[in-house]
Structure 1
Amino acid sequence: MTAYRRLRIPGGTYYFTVRLARRGGTELTDHVDLLRAAYGITCRERPFRTRAIVVLPDHLHAIWTLPPGDADFSTRWRLIKTRFTRGLGWKAPRGASQAHKGDCGLWQRRFWEHAIRDGADLRLHMDKCRDDPVRHGLVARARDWPLSSVHRVRRADPVG
């Protein structure tokens, strides 16, 4: 079994990639209002600052800054995923391992995170959020993707 080691920096800023289990799924964009609700409730219960977020059909990227003294991003993602899944009423075929672990089959079990080191690293990951819809062929210009906060964030909160 793989032992996942996460760098936990209280009050840190992190870049995340969270994926659906099924590549090519569209649940995130098809039900974006439900995702927004799950995200908002979690943010109110366990505050964090969203520096950027982009939602694509089968995955999302987000950059968060956690409150001072707090490094628990895992619980926040668990709550967002659980609320979204329950809101959908998702029922999918599961293997014995998924059932044993309480996995619903909608999301990949893990998520990827990267601790942001400095202003240049933050700019790089903001650009990744901005450009991902173009990279996946969803739009020709990044500013045309409606499910991205990067354009608003860049104007209101320039980095560096």
Structure 2
Amino acid sequence: MTEYRRAKIPGATFFFTVNLAQRRGNRLLVDKIDLLRRAFREVKDRHPFVINAIVVLPEHLHTVWTLPEGDSDYKTRWSLIKAGFSRRIPAGERRSDSRVKRGERGIWQRRYWEHVICDDGDLERHVNYIHWNPVKHGWVQRVADWPYSSFHLYVQRGVYCLDWACDSEFTIKGGE
């Protein structure tokens, strides 16, 4: 078995995509948003990091984090967030034989996708992608209408206007 290699750059900024194991028709992340927020807070209290941007959709989330100087351990943070959220959800989800054998829940996909942010332009593209994602997936018509997004903080800070990306010419390049 080939070991999956992840970037380990202390103090770096990373873009992540994290998915539920069962995506079709699943609304767990938004239905249990308070439990997800609690899991994030608890991990941030013990293992600090900055959430630069985030969007939580019903069955997946995207986020950009900056880790503290000298720290490259996002793997532990994600493990703790996933476990903290999962512990608060009543058991009953479908689990594969391998998950049962390992004593794992079946809430999250085991893996997640990360990308090292390489410069300010890359950061801007990923933050825009994050905020545009609810529109991309058809959950809302306007970015401002999705409540589970850091977009609203960006509006408060004057980075975006409330009707950002409402222009029909607006497009975001990138993917999940």
| Shorter-chain TM-score range | over 0.9
- In the alignment, is the contact (CA less than 8 A) between 1:130 and 1:151 conserved in 2? no
Q: Which has the higher helix share?
A: 1
TM-score w.r.t. length of structure 1: 0.93
Report deviation, 1:121. 0.2
Q: String of CA shifts for 1:76-135, please: whole Å, max 9, x gaps.
A: 011011011111123323222112333211100101000000000000000110100000
Structure 1 gaps of 5+ residues are none
CA distance in 2, matches of 1:103, 1:157: 43
Question: Which segment is superposed worse, 89-98 or 127-136?
Answer: 89-98
Match of 1:3 in 2: 3
Match of 1:70 in 2: 71
Match of 1:80 in 2: 81
Task: Determine which structure has more spread, i.e. the larger CA radius of gyration.
Answer: 2
1:153 aligns with 2:144: no
Alignment of 1:4-153 (within 5 A): 4-24=4-24, 25-153=26-154
User: Structure 1 segments of 4 or more deviating over 3 A?
Assistant: none
Report deviation, 1:157. 7.9
CA distance in 2, matches of 1:92, 1:155: 38
C-alpha spacing 1:22/1:93, structure 2 compared with 1 (3 Å): closer
CA distance in 1, matches of 2:158, 2:42: 24
Report deviation, 1:155. 4.8
Q: What is the number of equivalent residue pairs in this alignment?
A: 158
**Percent identity of paired positions between Structure 1 and Structure 2:** 48
